[in-house]
Amino acid sequence: MKETHDIYTVTIDALNQRGQGQAAIWRENEKGNKKKLKLTIPYTLPGEEVKVAVAKYAKRRWEHKAEEIVSPSADRVAAICPHFERCGGCTWQHWTYEKQLQEKTASVKRYLEEQDFSTDIVKDTIGMEEPWYYRNKMEFTFSKDGELGLHEPGNFRNIIPLETCFIMKGAMKEAVLEVANWAKEFELSGYNKETHEGLLRHVMVRQSFATKEMMIGIFATESPAQIKGIDTLVERITKNHPDVKSLIWLENRSVSDRVASEETHVLAGRDFIYDELMGYRYRLWFDTFFQTNPTQAAKLVELALDMLQPDGSEKMIDLFCGVGTFSLPLASRVKQLIGIEIVETSIESAKRNAADNGITNTHFLAKDARSGMAQIVEEFGTPDVLLLDPPRSGAGGKVMRRIARSNPERIIYVSCNPESFAVDVQQLIPFGYKLEEVQPVDLFPHTFHVELVAMLSKVEE
């Protein structure tokens, strides 16, 4: 039996955590009682009046695309990408960039208010002069029929074929399309996530904006040795895309859809590329975490330095240090820097990156944050300053309390999730720390994501 729908005209009164429009309706249920139904309507803006079709017996919550924008916001603009609303890459192309930045500032303030912090310390979000073509890394997926593209929002089994992309450089797009066209020409199958059959799974592209070096990684379920046309692919990439210094084939037979490699084959060039940030050189492999917006990543480092004001005599801990993105620029401005990171391959990369840049006052430890800090404090003493850049889930209460007990004078918190950030820093307040400054930074224009750099100082015992 086909489900019936009723059409409602509603006003968008807020956005949720994913930047989607929120509204509500009151209607009678089967028993004739008035019940409130919360609606989530993507690609709508605050204050807009929209028509939406709601299932007759939808309960509690309902998510559906607007049937019609009856009264559009004055801040609505036409999206420039033909894939918008079909592709999950950007969700705010329909909003002026100025309003995007204002909403990101407001979201940071909301999360801090929930934890009883004053919002006076939150500065306006730092945006980009050119909020397009900013990503240095993208991942694309093959559909089961061999089309290469991005996932449809909310439907990871449906792939939107790639025609263009306005958040990565044109050279990256052209190299990816070269792979896509090659796969079609040689009729290579895509991976079927339901039957776990097929050859091609993903294509990863990353390019340094500083060195121009590019990496193309093709994830597949078989070795490249027996793949028809593989020599043609190598020839076309090396001839038509000279910036590709790493063309790799990565075997992944896992049932999981995670982008991973069981064995890596170098088809051309090397298995890494060089990138630079703030004048420091880094080696990047296919699985190296590195900020995907280099322009704004440099701004994060500059803000950390400006807030810390290191005097060259201090000991510093860089917690969740990764491959040394913050460690290297900061190490040259302190007496000693110790980086802690649980991923051993990242620590090996951090050591190598420090050596490549002639930095000799660093020590890197492969350990979880909590026990790693205990070891470092025991071996090196109390840090003067500490920087942490945890994952989206935050550092957690136990780690934050360990940080507080290590007693640094100043703490810099770099966050990609203002909600977990606000919860984390609240843990420091009972230990005599004060949240002095919060600076949001837009690393992902046309999405709801916002990063920030914040400083806390020890003000009392």
The full set of domain ranges for the chain reads: 5-71, 102-129+292-458, 137-277
CA–CA separation, 331 and 357 (whole Å): 11
Residue 389 annotated as lining a ligand binding site: yes
In the prediction, which pLDDT does 87 show? 87
Does 291 count as an annotated binding residue?
A: yes
What count of Cα atoms within 13 Å lies in the side-chain half-sphere of residue 324?
Answer: 35
Read off the pTM: 0.93
- Asked if the domains 5-71 and 102-129+292-458 are classified in one and the same CATH topology, the answer is no
Binding residue per annotation — 341?
Answer: yes
Q: What pLDDT is stored for residue 60 in this prediction?
A: 72
| Domain at 137-277: CATH code | 2.40.50.1070
CATH 3.40.50.150 fits 5-71, yes or no: no
Consecutive sets of 10 residues in the chain, 461 residues long: mean pLDDT of each? 79 95 86 85 96 82 88 97 89 97 98 97 98 96 92 80 91 96 96 91 97 97 94 98 98 81 94 96 93 96 96 96 95 97 94 97 96 94 96 96 96 98 97 97 97 94 58
CA 317 – CA 401 distance, rounded (Å): 15
Question: Residue 259: its pLDDT value, please?
Answer: 76
Distance from C-alpha of 267 to C-alpha of 265, rounded to nearest angstrom:
6
- Residue 2 is predicted with a pLDDT of 59
Burial status of residue 98 (CB atoms within 10 A of its CB: 0-12, 13-18, 19 or more): exposed
Confirm whether 321 is a catalytic residue.
Answer: no
CATH architecture of 102-129+292-458: 3-Layer(aba) Sandwich (3.40)
Give the model's pLDDT for residue 443. 97
241's tokens: 């895309």
